[in-house]
Structure 1
Amino acid sequence: MSLEHLDVGVDSPMFMIRKLRFVTSNVGKLAEAQDFLLPAGLTVEGVSRDIILQVVEPQSPSLKTISSSKLEQVLSLFDDDGVPTFVEDAGLFIEAWGGFPGPFSSFAHSTLGCSGLISLMRGLSDRRAHFKAVIAMHLDGQTHHFEGRIDGSIAQSIDGDEGFGFDPIFIPEGESSTFARLGDSYKRRHSHRTRALENLLRLLVQDE
């Protein structure tokens, strides 16, 4: 799926919103959102580190619960200036481990890293996994959720140096290389985050 399927572009009159606010400490996530939405005439701004440090991530097995809680906290820190504001939570779900690390992927990456996860999976034949992202956005006084998912598998070894997180060990379905080897341009067309952003954009188009 691409923006062409949504029939929007920089000259499109289909919606009046021209700016969104993405609250994230991950510069890679912010860049992905900016690159995807810019062709639709939407700019995406980040927020100061001071704001980000005030948001406490809840411990929950649900990405939707986490994103909703983070958004609620964020909204309490801003005066309502009419700019649609969104947060996102994502995770790597490994089938053989019942979906772990899932919502705890950031912690797993900071403690195990890609090499540690590969080591723990040594000998496992079932290497199926998927990335999932859930966006929570405040628009016109309501909270909307958008999901995106990409299926794939865990590589036998680390491969590639682009992207971030577990990109060097995740092979998208239908490919033979990892996200990190396929490169940022591939990921920004096909990732779980892109698919969630596509759903977000559909809502903005429908609202007009």
Structure 2
Amino acid sequence: MKLLMSPPSPFVRKVRVVLRETGLIDTIEEVAVTTTPLASDPDVSAANPLAKIPVLIRDDGPAIYDSRVINRFLNTHAQANLYPEGRLWEILTLEATADAIMEAAVGMTYEMRYREAAAQSPAWLDAQWAKVDRATRAISTRWMSHLSGPLNIGQIGVACALSYLDLRHDARGWRAGNDTLAAWHAAFAQRQSMLDTAVS
């Protein structure tokens, strides 16, 4: 199998971390592609009509895409326990919160990178960051208990989302007022799977 991916993407990183945490990394080839909102990689477009990464090219079925779909597939394939039944809805909600942080932050990156400076909207950027701010504070106040205990997909998603904020939007300072979450992230970032997928 092949994973079409670009290392800076936080959605890709979620999958790459899961590959390592589940021991599947030796069974799937990671294929780096260059794709943007304005110029899609042809292999990605052929496998995913939305032309988004990550995409998993399977040997025995059609390609599957969206990090949440791929990670459920990998979890089942490895017989891992990243989606514990006893806390499933809470873990999925935490993963969705992490994905929403990623979506807002990636949108901000695209706005600044691919839209001409004169056409950029500071108000829109601030509105996206407000989503990030509310989400990180919600995790700090409501979801910290789900970031402890055995590894789950919610933890991986939050770690990848926060690391992406550091990569692309560090100047906005998500750690302010989120001391406990910041300490958790600093510790989680030392997992080998996170170190192996880090982008500077």
More helix by share: 2
What TM-score do you get using the length of structure 2 for normalisation? 0.33
What TM-score do you get using the length of structure 1 for normalisation? 0.33
More strand by share: 1
- Asked which structure has the greater RCO (Cα within 8 Å, sep 6+), the reply is 2
